[in-house]
Each structure stands twice: as C-alpha cells, then as structure tokens.
Structure 1
Amino acid sequence: MAISRMFQILIVTLLHYFSASILAANPIYNVFSYGAKADGKFDCTKAFEDAWGAACASVSPATIYVPQGRYILGNAYFDGSTCKNNATTIQIDGTLSAPYDYNVIGDSVHWLKFRRVNGVSIRGGTLDGQGANLWACKASGKNCPKGATSLAFLNSDKISIDGLTSINSQKFHIVADGCRDAKLRNIKISAPDESPNTDGIHIGRSSGVSVTNSRIATGDDCVSVSPGTSNLFVENVTCGPGHGISIGSLGWVMDEAGVENVTVKSCVFSGTQNGVRIKTWARPSNGYVRNVHYEDLTMINAENPIIIDQNYCPNNQNCPNQMSGVKISGVTYKDIHGTSATETGLNLECSKAEPCTGITLDKIMLNYKNKTAAVVCGNAVQKMDGVINPLKCLP
C-alpha cells in the first residue's frame, strides 16, 4: 500500500511538472488579465494591444485568448517588427466590435492592423465593423469619413485565418497587402448588397495567398486582386451578393506591377453583378495579367458571368480616347456553367493597343432564359486544341 501511494504521488508530481512546463513553453495571455471587459461598452483597445505586447515578447509560441462576450475596440495596431517568436495564435471566442460612432475610427484606413508580423494565426471569432451608420451618411451626400478596413495584414508572412466571421465592415473586410504565404479558410463575410466599397477579401502586392471554403456576401467584390499579386489560389468560395471575383482595376499608372499565376476553381456565384472579371483602365501602362485559370464555376443568375473589360473609364474622366496598355495573356475558362441574368454570358472587351492572347474556352455552358447566352468580344485570340485563331464573336 505504501509503495502504491508513493507511486500515485510520483505520477501527480510528474503531471504537475509537465503541465507547468507546457504552459511555460506555450504561454496563454487572456485579454481579461490586461483589463479587457466583455460588456460591449468598455474601450478594450489598450488591453488588446498590451496582450499582444506580452505575447510578442515571449520567446516561445504564444496564444492570446479572447473569451466569449462583446469587446469594443478603437483603432488597434499590432506591430510584429520586434516580436521574439514567429508563432502567435489569437483564439477569439467572442465578438470584436468597432465603436458605434464611426467618427472614432474616422479616416484611419484600417481598424485592426497587423504590420510586419510573422506566423500569426487567428482562430474563430466575429468582427463587427458597425458600418451601417457610415453607409447612411455617405448615401445622404454629407461630408463623411472614408471609413476603415476591418482587418489588415501589411508586409507580413505566414498568416493563417481560420473560422473568422466579418460583418458590416465600414470598407473592405479583410486586406492582405505585401504579404507572403497567407492562408484564409472557412471565412464568413456579410454586408448588405448596397453597402459601398465593402470588398470581402482584397489582395495586393502579395504572393502565395489562398482563399478556400468560404462564404462571401457583400456590396462589392467578393475577392479583389490588385497589382503585384502572384500565385493566388481561390477554391470553394460562394459569392453573392457582390461583384464577383475581380482582377483589377489595373493600369492606372505606367509603371505598374503585374498579376500572374491565379487559379479560381469550384466556386459559386449567385445573383452577383459579375462572375469572374479582369478589369483595366483605358490608359497607357506596361502592366500585365498572365497565367490565369478559371475552372468548375457555377453561375446562378450572374449579370456578367465572364467578362474582360479593358475600356474602363468612368464618366470619361482621366482616360478618354485612350487605350489600355495592360497585356492580358494565357487565360483559361474551363467548365463554366449555369445561368446568366443578362443576354450576354461571355463578354471579352480587350484592348486594341494590346489584344488579349492565349484565351482558352473549354466547356462554357451558360444559358439565358433557357437559351444559350451570347458571346461578345473584341481584340482577343483563342487557343483551342493547340490551334490559335481569332475568337469568334457576335458583331
């Protein structure tokens, strides 16, 4: 009996020792410990920034824990340039809310900003941008703040966002700019279809970004891609309402980075303004779009299921009587099916100065009112079965 008792004490002691060691090696920083209150009233900005500072100072992988409840945050800035570890997880079980008064954030561009971070993972949680009052202000024609992106990662590497919900962002919901190796999955984004400039996920100057298994319903592009983006992979995304998945607008300046190696597959577009779009300004530019692959896309009453628009010049300002210099090449449309809300299912308006080349159409089956949707295009070259021919279009 004595030996058995001693053995039990030894086991308990060892378990306690190893548990303490694990906690020391992987510390958890609860935002409550830094003064946060989950009452939906208290300004928790400093508490969250202090918790970040503590996790950032840890030499071991660390976790910031946000318990259930509603947390009010003003502009919060999380700088990773001095962090001592490259594996910080932010586990959110509650809701982070912008202030009800949109003037608190004002013209700050970003609400929650991560800059120069490495190995940050966000798990779960909801972001509420409280955008409705700002949208109403803009609709009234008053002098209103520009508003802010809800969540931005800038010049950051090895980012992971999984299971996050973003609602009613003032502007863009999620931005990855100047990032490498970012994985966004199981994202849910929601804002009314009339909400202005509320892109779901915006990607610019980034490489190795993937967006998968997500549902995006918003007032602008579900996914938007700007200059300098490469090796982008989008799969199993449901879009609608919204403006579709858009590369552009490109070619605003002469010296502009291009977009290349983009894959969009197994996505659904329901009631969207566009399906898949490439858009460039009608201005001189040495930019380019190349090696883009669209495959297995379902259109459900999308207004413009497939569109290339190289004549973009709103109100004929800043670009009248000019032609786009952006070179579009190597674009494949494969197995795109469903219904168009307009008579034209495929509309390729390429540049006269730089016609589109290497356009491949394979199994495009789009209907409009139980009839095959029209194909309209200009200045495009099609590649089918290894043979290059001018793309046959309706006049």
Structure 2
Amino acid sequence: MSILFSENYINEVEGRAHYHKKKGGIISAPSSPAYAPDPNVPPPLVPSDPYSSPTQNGPCIFDVTSFGAVGDGNTDDTAAFQATWKAACAVESSVILLPSKGKFMITSSIFNGPCKPGLVMQIDGILMPPDGPDCWPESDSKKQWLVFYRLNEFTMNGTGTIEGNGQKWWDLPCKPHRGPHGSTLPGPCDSPAMIRFFLSNNTQISGIRIQNSPQFHIKFDGCDGVLINKLQINSPQFSPNTDGIHVQETKNVGIYNSMIANGDDCISIGPGCSNVDIQGVVCDHSHGISIGSLGVHNTRSCVSNITVRGALIKNSDNGVRIKTWQGGSGSVSDISFHDIQMENTTNSIIIDQYYCLTKACRNETSAVYLSGVSYKNIKGTYNNVRSAPIHFACSDAVPCTNITMSEVELLPAQGELVDDPFCWNAYGIQESLTIPPIDCLQDGMPLSLGEALVGC
C-alpha cells in the first residue's frame, strides 16, 4: 500500500511551546506529524504581540534597534547585537527581537552563555552575514558565522529569514569543479557554517527560514535536548557542502515537520549521537538522510537509536544512507527507516562501509559494526537505470547483521526494473517480498564478527 499524503494530515500539527522527554531520553514528537509547514498557521511567537509592553507576568523584550542596530542591510550591527545579547542574557524569560522591517548584517559572532533560563531570539526580520569572502573581516573565523555556546533552554523562532549570502563562497575556485575548465583548485577552502550550537541543552528552533548557507546550514555539537519544528532550509541543488541539519556528539533530538532543499545531506547524523527522532520531513534535491560518515582516520564512533519515519525524499542523489570508513571501530545499532516515500532518487537504500572521498583509501580490516537496521514501508521510484536502488556493501571482516526488510517497493521512474540488488557480507531477513527482490541478503548470523564485539 502506498504512503498517502492528505491535506488534513498536513494541517493537523500546531507548533508546541514545550517538549518533554520519554523514558530513555528521546524527545516526544508533536502529535500527527506533517510533511510540510502549514503556511496558514503561524509559528509560535513569544510573546504573541511582540511590540506591546510586557505585562507584570510577561517577558521582557529587548529590541535590537533599541541598542543601536540600524537594520538597513549595509551597516554593521554586530556591536548592537552583542549589547542586546548581554542585556537579555541576564534576565529570565527575556526576548531578543529582530523586528520584521529590519535587514540586519552582523559579522562572525559568538553568543555566550550561560544565560538565565527561557531566553528567546525572535527573528521576524532578515539576519545575514557579510556578502562573500571578500567582505569577510580578516580577523574573523572563516569556519563559522553564528555560534551559540553553553546555553540552556534557549529558543529561536519567528517569521523571518536567516540569509547566508552563500553564492560567492560556492563559486570559489577551490570548490568542486569551480576552477578553470571545471577543475578543483587546492585550498585552503574554509567556508563558514551558518549556525552552530555548541555544548547547549534544551534548544528549540521553529518557524524561521534558513537559506543560502556558505556551508552547513545548522550544526549541533555536544548538545543534549534539541527540538526542531516547522523549519525551512533552502539552497540550490549544486551548492557544495550545504548540509541542512547536522548533529554530532548530541543526544535526545527531535526534528519534525520541516522542509529542506539543499546541495548535500538533507540531515546528517555524525558520531556520538543517540535518541534521534526524525518525523514528517521533506528532503528535496539533496543527498538524502545520512548516518555518517563514521570511523574516519581509524576513530571509534558510536550511534544508536535513530528513527526516521514519515519522510518524503525526492529528486535526491540518495535516499537513506549509512556510510562508514574502513579502519574505524565502534557500532551503529537500533536504526529504523519506516514509512518513507521516495520520488526520483538515484540510490534509495544504502549501507556503504567502504566510504572514501578519493581513490587512494587503503583496505583496512577493522570497521564500525552495524547491527539492527530496519527498513519498513519504503516505497516510490528511482532514476538509476544502471544499478539497483538497494546497495549493502558491508566490511569483509565485520559483517552487517540483523537487517530487516519489510514492505519495500522501489520501482524505476522510467524504463525496466533493475532487479539485482548488491549485497556483500550482509545478514538479515525479508519479512515480506521486496521489490526488487533482495535474495542476496544472507540468513542468520555470520560465524564470526571479527573485532566487532569491542563495540561501544
């Protein structure tokens, strides 16, 4: 049975002001996940009337223009933003307001905590960095733009846009195929990630639009408790390294009801992540939803309890992917890809334990151990006429185990069915007939797991 999309289903979800953890730490999803934000339902705002004076029990509002921000798109408003942050950080349940008529330009900035609980940054206008590398201050880091550090119970919401001005970064000749005659010139090729949350807990982001990032749009590193709801991320299909949402060393994450169109991984899950729930996400012209890459430079990586459900992945190079380098160690376990619609993907379902960015990678015997990966009710179309849409390439020494296939139906967008999926050292079961049939999946368990039991 195909996955159905209904307007009523999409319109059911309202943004939430609070979230809670289930047993085991995972953030609970909003009820009835949606495939796209409803444009007729505004995102949650704090307060409901941001221009009114605070009531006795209401939040204290810090308008950046009151601290000297000009908001004309040309003036450097960095100092005004830092002053606003310092004042609001010291007040519980305060709101930093970027009014809707403003177009605020700030340079690379770190917004430090800890702050009083309940701090909100409400972006109703436009926030942007300098226009390209030539305008970037020499003293500023070219690896990051907005950094939020050591915050607790911080919320970013509003009806506005964070604009990355990424085009001039994408066109650098050190970017893939951007040099003379389609070449890639040597670096350094640093480009700033747009938004980074570092060592922060219980962060909420909703409603805003993030677009045209020079590199990753939003990253979470070393965080605990992340809720993303009704977020829109947009960059062109061929913008290099513009991952939508990236998490690493982060646990208890919920990503819901969001639309992501970009030039790299729609959502990427790096090492050290656990309890990640992704639901109701649309990925367009991206590299799909990826776990990894893991184990680079013989490192140990541990990823567990990842759920992707109710997603639509379309016009993408990949669908759902797990990628690890040879020579790594650790484990990937308890992964569920359920109720996913594919439209015109190239490689729909992939496990690649031979991931390599060059042709010079050496063969290694150790590997990250993959076990307990479930694919259920994944249906749609693929556009690769040369190879099957299912590819399980597991380590020679450390097999993949406990792979479950159920109700997987992938058909060619045009042409004949490619009916020869690839499996190497992959063990699992088919609970129902798979299209194309995946007879190469081996039954039971291997005789040896090599070094896998070192695990996490």
In the alignment, is residue 340 of structure 1 matched against residue 388 of structure 2? no
Match of 1:13 in 2: none
Unaligned runs of 5+ in 1: 1-18
Unaligned runs of 5+ in 2: 1-51, 180-184, 433-437, 443-456
Match of 1:64 in 2: 96
Alignment of 1:114-153 (within 5 A): 114-124=148-158, 125-137=160-172, 138=175, 139-140=178-179, 141=185, 145-153=189-197
Q: Is the Cα contact below 8 Å between 2:119 and 2:153 reproduced in 1? A: yes
Q: Secondary structure of the equivalent of 2:389?
A: strand
Q: Secondary structure of the equivalent of 1:52?
A: helix
Letter in 2 for 1:294: F
Match of 2:21 in 1: none
In the alignment, is residue 325 of structure 1 matched against residue 367 of structure 2? yes
Supply the distance in 2 between the matched residues of 1:176 and 1:46 (Cα, whole angstroms).
25
How many residues are matched? Answer: 368
Q: Is the Cα contact below 8 Å between 2:132 and 2:166 reproduced in 1? A: no
User: 1:20–1:75: structure 2 CA closer, same or farther, 3 Å change rule?
Assistant: closer
In the alignment, is residue 288 of structure 1 matched against residue 331 of structure 2? yes
Shift of 1:185: 1.1
User: 1:145–1:26: structure 2 CA closer, same or farther, 3 Å change rule?
Assistant: same
CA RMSD of aligned residues (A): 2.1
Choose the corresponding residue for 1:301, options 330, 339, 344.
344
User: 1:168–1:385: structure 2 CA closer, same or farther, 3 Å change rule?
Assistant: closer
Greater per-residue strand proportion? 1
Length-normalised TM-score, structure 1: 0.88
Q: Secondary structure of the equivalent of 1:22?
A: coil
Residue by residue, what CA displacement relative to the aligned partner does 1:4-59 show, whole Å, maximum 9, x if unpaired? xxxxxxxxxxxxxxx9883576211000111001111111111111111111111x
In the alignment, is residue 109 of structure 1 matched against residue 133 of structure 2? no
Q: Is the Cα contact below 8 Å between 2:329 and 2:366 reproduced in 1? A: no
Supply the distance in 2 between the matched residues of 1:20 and 1:166 (Cα, whole angstroms).
29
In the alignment, is residue 157 of structure 1 matched against residue 204 of structure 2? no
Q: Is the Cα contact below 8 Å between 2:426 and 2:441 reproduced in 1? A: no
Q: Is the Cα contact below 8 Å between 1:190 and 1:217 reproduced in 2? A: yes
Q: Is the Cα contact below 8 Å between 1:204 and 1:229 reproduced in 2? A: yes
Letter in 2 for 1:164: I
Using the aligned pairs only, state the percent identity: 38
In terms of Rg, which structure is larger? 1
Letter in 1 for 2:150: R
Greater per-residue helix proportion? 1
Letter in 1 for 2:302: G
Supply the distance in 2 between the matched residues of 1:109 and 1:64 (Cα, whole angstroms).
25
Residue by residue, what CA displacement relative to the aligned partner does 1:138-186 show, whole Å, maximum 9, x if unpaired? 3233756511111110000000000121111000000011111100111
Match of 2:296 in 1: 252
Length-normalised TM-score, structure 2: 0.77
Supply the distance in 2 between the matched residues of 1:363 and 1:262 (Cα, whole angstroms).
20
Q: Secondary structure of the equivalent of 1:26?
A: coil
Supply the distance in 1 between the matched residues of 2:251 and 2:369 (Cα, whole angstroms).
20
Choose the corresponding residue for 1:33, options 53, 66, 69.
66
Q: Is the Cα contact below 8 Å between 1:135 and 1:195 reproduced in 2? A: yes
Supply the distance in 1 between the matched residues of 2:358 and 2:246 (Cα, whole angstroms).
25
Alignment of 1:363-382 (within 5 A): 363-368=407-412, 369=414, 371-374=416-419, 375-382=421-428
Shift of 1:314: 2.8
Supply the distance in 1 between the matched residues of 2:341 and 2:326 (Cα, whole angstroms).
30
Per chain length, whose mean CA-contact separation is higher, i.e. which structure has more relative contact order (CA < 8 Å, sep 6+)?
2
